[in-house]
């Protein structure tokens, strides 16, 4: 642990093992690739947009993708909310360059920033940057917290919620799913089932 002085006030910072963070990101990347490979005609698009920002774009049956953008800052000192906003802006800009180059279509998104943030920095305060809350989530994580568990559960709940809402709409309309709607319904069922299998420990299903 190190101590530095700023404006006559001592602030403690903890040494963070970012190698472990990147190791967990690699595990997440591998598991998501296994889940989504072969579920549609498209394959997951996985690419490091720069040395600190990873894109995992999940293909859906209707031709759209759900991008998961993960940015890691290895900055030693604590990061304020303004620094968190810079991280989100930088990750989003890198993603938009990819979208423009490869014509990626998306409706929803998940943005994840991992850094040694101060404890008052929350993802909920980031939407003023222009990102729409109803279209996706912005997650701000400290690397020494169980961020992987929170992220996996959030993704699982998102897909499960989409499935439940779709089933409810079909039941309310008293119609059977067909065409693209049926493809999306079946796809969501497969995704939820595979999440339960691949991430059972994190989801506490065992």
pLDDT at 17: 83
- Here the tokens at position 22 are 């990147």
Q: Is the dihedral of CA 106, 131, 53, 195 positive or negative?
A: negative
Rounded to 5°, the CA angle 181-56-165 comes to 30
Residue 24: burial class (beta carbons within 10 Å; 0-12, 13-18, 19+): middle
In the predicted structure, residue 27 carries a pLDDT above the cut 60: yes
What confidence tier does 135 reach under pLDDT thresholds 50, 70, 90? confident
In the predicted structure, residue 5 carries a pLDDT above the cut 50: no
Phi, psi of 81 (to 5 degrees): -65, -35
- Here the tokens at position 74 are 């290895």
Asked which of 15-19, 101-105, 139-143, 147-151 is least confident by mean pLDDT, the reply is: 15-19
What confidence tier does 129 reach under pLDDT thresholds 50, 70, 90? low
Residue bearing the bigger pLDDT, 172 or 137 = 172
pLDDT at 131: 63
Buried b (16+ CB within 10 A) or exposed e, 162-186: bbeebeeeeeeeeeeeeeebeebbe
pLDDT at 121: 85
Rounded to 5°, the CA angle 76-136-144 comes to 25
| 8 Å CB contact between 48 and 56 | no
Residue with tokens 């049926």: 182
Q: What is the mean pLDDT of residues 40-61?
A: 96
Residue bearing the bigger pLDDT, 145 or 127 = 145
CB atoms within 10 A of CB 97: 12
Which ranges of 124-178 does DSSP label H, i.e. alpha helix?
147-173
In the predicted structure, residue 6 carries a pLDDT above the cut 70: no
Helices (H) and strands (E) in the chain, counts: 4, 7
Q: What is the pTM of this model?
A: 0.88
| 8 Å CB contact between 141 and 25 | no
What confidence tier does 69 reach under pLDDT thresholds 50, 70, 90? very high
Q: How far apart, in Å, are the Cα atoms of 157 and each of 40, 104, 136, 160, 176?
A: 21, 24, 13, 5, 24
């Amino acid at each position: 642990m190190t101590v530095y002085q700023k404006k006559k006030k001592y602030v403690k910072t903890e040494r963070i093992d970012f190698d472990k963070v990147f190791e967990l990101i690699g595990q997440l990347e591998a598991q998501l690739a296994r889940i989504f490979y072969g579920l549609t005609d498209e394959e997951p698009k996985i690419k490091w947009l720069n040395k600190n920002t990873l894109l995992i774009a999940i293909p859906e049956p209707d031709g759209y993708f759900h991008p998961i953008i993960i940015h890691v800052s290895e900055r030693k000192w604590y990061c304020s909310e303004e620094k968190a906003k810079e991280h989100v802006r930088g990750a989003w800009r890198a993603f938009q360059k990819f979208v423009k180059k490869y014509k990626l279509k998306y409706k929803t998104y998940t943005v994840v920033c991992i850094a040694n943030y101060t404890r008052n920095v929350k993802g909920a305060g980031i939407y003023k940057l222009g990102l729409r809350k109803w279209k996706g989530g912005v997650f701000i994580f400290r690397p020494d917290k169980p961020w992987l568990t929170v992220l996996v559960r959030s993704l699982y709940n998102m897909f499960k919620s989409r499935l439940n809402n779709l089933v409810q709409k079909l039941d309310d309309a008293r119609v059977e799913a067909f065409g693209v709607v049926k493809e999306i319904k079946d796809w969501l069922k497969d995704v939820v089932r595979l999440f339960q299998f691949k991430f059972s420990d994190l989801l506490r299903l065992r």
